Amino acid sequence: MAFCGFAKGAAMYDSTPIENMFLTEFLPAAPEQFLKVYLYARMLALHPELDAALADLASALRMDEDAVLDAMAYWEQQGLARRLSDRPPAYELLPVQGGASGMDRAYYEYRDFNADLQALFPENLLHPAEFSRAVDWINVMGFSQDAVLLAVRHEIGQSRSKSPRPGPLFKRLDRKMLAWADRGAKTRAALERELSYSDAVRDTAARVVSRLGMKRPPSDDELAAVRRWLEEWRFTPEAVLDACAETTKARTPTVAYLDAVLKSRHSGDADLREELVAALKELDGGATQPTPDELAKYARFRQLGFEADTVRLAAVQCHRKRKTRFEDLEWMLEEWQKLGLYTRQAAEAYVRDMGLRRERMRAVMKRCGLERATRMDDLDYLEAWRAKLPDAVIDYAADCARGMHRPLLYMDRLIAEWAGEGVRTVEDARIRHEAHVAAAKASGGGKASGGGKANPALDYAQRDYSAQDEDSFFIDLEKEYGDGGDGA
């Protein structure tokens, strides 16, 4: 028994000294949970009579035992703890100043770098293998510390996981670091330029210099040119490679000559480009630049006789239907071509006519009990009915069809029968309809083709659909753009 010692419970009222060097050098970068473990361990080191095991420490800090072990592994990496045994786990704390052993000095040399590296993985503990690999990137491959941290940060950003595991990530990154080292991207600035190029840009650039007979990797200027062709001018890689054929006109084919060729193709007809940009803005709501293929297709539509305002109106219709691809605009214009809607005047007249027809069909559908937006096939029904009977008789047919399982189909058959019988007025239609109903009842056949009792459950207040509710291809250009249709 020791000559003297703390009484039971005295540790609660004692104090635990923490060096200022720890507060300035280790505390800022330490994860919060790891810091809790270290401070509590410092107290236990001063009071061995507490004889706290791993489970006791974890319980006191309300942490899992594995989380406590991760924390102690972190402080071991920081040179402030040393593992004494694995079963049971036991550690001793080392002094803050000069505590690193000879084995740890290599780690301690990169302590700040390693702390920054660990900070990139707040939910995962880096193990010595990851730190060692990162130091190899610096000492063996020649990367700067800033470049390594940038590369790791970028790789984390490329991961689909919110908390990627360090081991697999470092293995994937090792292959990329080797490629970047071969290309000389070892400083932060050089690596930033390297990362700014997409795989498509780099692959296309490599194929271009090969096509031009250059047996070397593309330079930074050439990569920048290819990025401009693909991302700003919207050429496809295939279009870029096809343009390489024109460089045979030069005595010495170069990327600069190819750039001039593509610039000429990109410029195209300035007026056509401006018109198409305006239409694409209506189509997708952004400042989209047309691709060469889109510009060529637009030129074909203009050659067919479409006015620029007609194309713009078609783009507005597509946008209202949430169809925002150029292919949707193509489809719309092809449909309008079938209808001969090449001019703004013709398109607007069609728009107004379609608006009136939809309004009329909405009223008919409301009378027969249908509560949904009108469709193009509904308008086909209306057009066929109007060719046979007046609107008043059509309204009466809708009243008769109310409660039927398929009211529009019932109306179509009813109107065809009335037209064949020479009906022209509502009174004539009512006489024939009532006669059909009476005959059906007398024969016990239930509902006759001419009618039947409407289902009272369907006699409820119907919602009024406005023009905005319609899933329509058609709007009024004057309402959309104001006078002149130029957006003013």
Which pLDDT tens digit goes with each residue over 292-321? 778 888 888 988 889 999 999 999 988 888
What is the predicted pLDDT for the residue at 390? 93
Structure tokens that stand for 135 in this block = 């130091």
What is the amino acid identity at position 21? Answer: M
Backbone angles phi, psi at 287, to 5 degrees: -95, 55
Backbone angles phi, psi at 204, to 5 degrees: -65, -40
**Distance, CA of 395 to CA of 393 (rounded, Å):** 5
Tens of pLDDT, residues 106-145: 555 777 788 889 889 988 888 878 888 999 999 999 999 9
* Mean pLDDT score across all residues of the chain: 81
Q: What percentage of the chain exceeds 90 in pLDDT?
A: 29
Q: What is the average pLDDT across 216-238? A: 87
The domain made up of 10-104 has a fold known as: Arc Repressor Mutant, subunit A (1.10.10)
Angle at 407 between CA 405 and CA 413, to 5 degrees: 115
**Distance, CA of 334 to CA of 327 (rounded, Å):** 11
Q: What is the average pLDDT across 146-150? A: 95
Structure tokens that stand for 276 in this block = 């198409």
Reported as a pLDDT band with limits 50, 70 and 90, residue 226 is very high
**Distance, CA of 316 to CA of 312 (rounded, Å):** 6
Burial class (CB in 10 A: 0-12, 13-18, 19+), 122: exposed
What is the predicted pLDDT for the residue at 114? 84
| Buried residues in 421-438 as b, exposed as e (16+ CB within 10 A) | eebeebeebeebbeebbe
Nearest to 418 by CA among 451, 377, 464, 375: 451
Nearest to 316 by CA among 349, 279, 341, 353: 279
Q: Find residue 89's DSSP bridge partners.
A: 86
Instruction: Say if CB 206 and CB 217 are below 8 A apart.
Output: yes
Q: Find residue 92's DSSP bridge partners.
A: 82
**Distance, CA of 56 to CA of 53 (rounded, Å):** 5
DSSP 69-104: HHHHHHHHHTTSEEEEEETTEEEEE--STT---TTT
The domain ranges of the chain are 10-104, 117-196, 199-267, 270-342, 348-469
Q: With 90 as the cut, is the pLDDT of residue 147 above it?
A: yes
CA 164 to the chain's CA centroid:
21
Q: Which residue has the tokens 């060729």?
A: 261
Is the backbone of residue 268 left (phi > 0), alpha (psi -120 to 50) or beta?
Answer: left
CA-based end-to-end distance of the chain: 97
Helix, strand or coil, per DSSP, at residue 44: helix
